[in-house]
Amino acid sequence: MNFTMHIDLSKQKILVTGASRGLGKAIAEQLAASGAQVAVHYHRNYEAANRVAKSIGHNAQCFQADLCKPVEVIQLFANITAEFEKLDCIINNAGVSLRTDPEGTDIDWSDNWSRNMLINLHSVGLLCKKAIAHFKERGGGRIINISSRAAFRGDTADYMGYAASKAGVVALTRSIARAYGKEGIKAFNIAPGFVRTDMADVFIKQYGEAYAVDDIALPQLTEPKDVAPMICMLASGLADHATGCTIDMNAGSYVH
């Protein structure tokens, strides 16, 4: 039975960052299958984002922004709310995983650390700030942030900057849930492990697929389509009393 038959998002307008490919694309597809109008954010690849928007329908539209630049993040939210008139949910999916090799130069380490933080944490915080103000005016809304198992168990030395940025997302989300729940604003974390995307492929090429698979309880890596249905359910309001929680979509990484 099709999961989406049980979820009706036909009245919802939802932003998904990094939705031109990978996990963000799968999320956008799942939301639209349940009737949502999706704002498909992208950085550089308009053609890919436009293909997603056209394929999922429901008046989905593309919106560009470089999440490293706060002024573009602010403008992104303004452009979407001007076009859509409202947002019911934002899904902060876009992210990078840049090496912060302790054996590298200080400048390279610092540059990659900063870029991890800008995209994975700073832009997420800024979009959450804009969403909170918007939701308070409208009586509530939902924020779903994509963190990582690395926020809880750490990562390799090469990717400690990535892990630190994702740990910040967890604290941010929990703080929003605590501070704004009585104003109708719910916030959730999803903590994937390796998901078969372009970003994970960089790590897999460096360490090998066996490293990734041996580290989980299931026999195969998580696919984007394995994560998207949970996000669709959280957006629906069916799990609002889980606000502040982290849902571990990482193939049993902590119990293996």
Measured CA to CA, the distance from residue 91 to residue 171 in angstroms comes to 16
Q: Look at 88-92, 173-177, 178-182, 207-211 and tell me which has the smallest mean pLDDT.
A: 207-211
Contacts of 182 (CB under 8 A, 6+ apart): none
Q: b/e map of 61-85 (b: 16 or more CB within 10 Å)?
A: ebbbbebbeeeebeebbebbbeebe
How far apart are the two ends of the chain, measured CA to CA in Å? 30
* Cβ-contact 60, 39 below 8 angstroms: yes
Distance CA 110, CA 119 (A): 14
pLDDT of residue 4 exceeding 50, the answer is no
Mean pLDDT over residues 91-119, rounded?
A: 96
What pLDDT score does 256 carry? 56
Q: Which two tokens stand for residue 160?
A: 């400690």
pTM: 0.93
- Residue 195 and residue 146 in contact, taking contact as beta carbons nearer than 8 Å: no
**32-76 residue pLDDT tens:** 999 999 999 999 999 999 999 999 999 999 999 999 999 999 999
> What pLDDT does 1 receive?
41
| 223-235-246 Cα angle (round to 5) | 65
Looking at per-residue confidence, does 164 or 256 come out higher?
Answer: 164
Categorize the per-residue pLDDT at 23 as very low, low, confident or very high, splitting at 50, 70 and 90. Answer: very high
Residue 247 DSSP class: E
> Which letter, b or e, does each residue of 33-43 get, where b requires 16 or more Cβ atoms within 10 Å of its Cβ?
bbebbbbbbbb
Q: Over 90: is that where the pLDDT of 247 sits?
A: yes
What is the C-alpha to C-alpha distance for residues 161 and 154, in angstroms, rounded to an integer? 10
Mean pLDDT, residues 180-207: 85
Instruction: Give φ, ψ of 154 to 5 degrees.
Output: 80, -175
**pLDDT value for 203:** 66
DSSP structure class, residue 9: -
Q: Is the dihedral of CA 50, 54, 55, 59 positive or negative?
A: positive
